[in-house]
Amino acid sequence: MALNRLKIVLVEQGKTGKWLSEQLGVTVHTVSRWCQNRSQPSVGQLNEIANILQVDVRTLMISNL
Residue 25 falls in which region: left (phi positive, over 0), alpha (psi -120 to 50) or beta: left
Tens digit of pLDDT per residue, the chain (65 long)?
A: 568 999 999 999 999 999 999 999 999 999 999 999 999 999 999 999 999 999 999 999 976 54
Which residue segments constitute the domains of the chain, with CATH numbers given?
Answer: 6-56 (1.10.260.40)
Q: What pLDDT does 62 receive?
A: 78
| pTM for the predicted model, two decimal places | 0.88
Per-residue pLDDT at 16: 97
What is the pLDDT at residue 65? 44
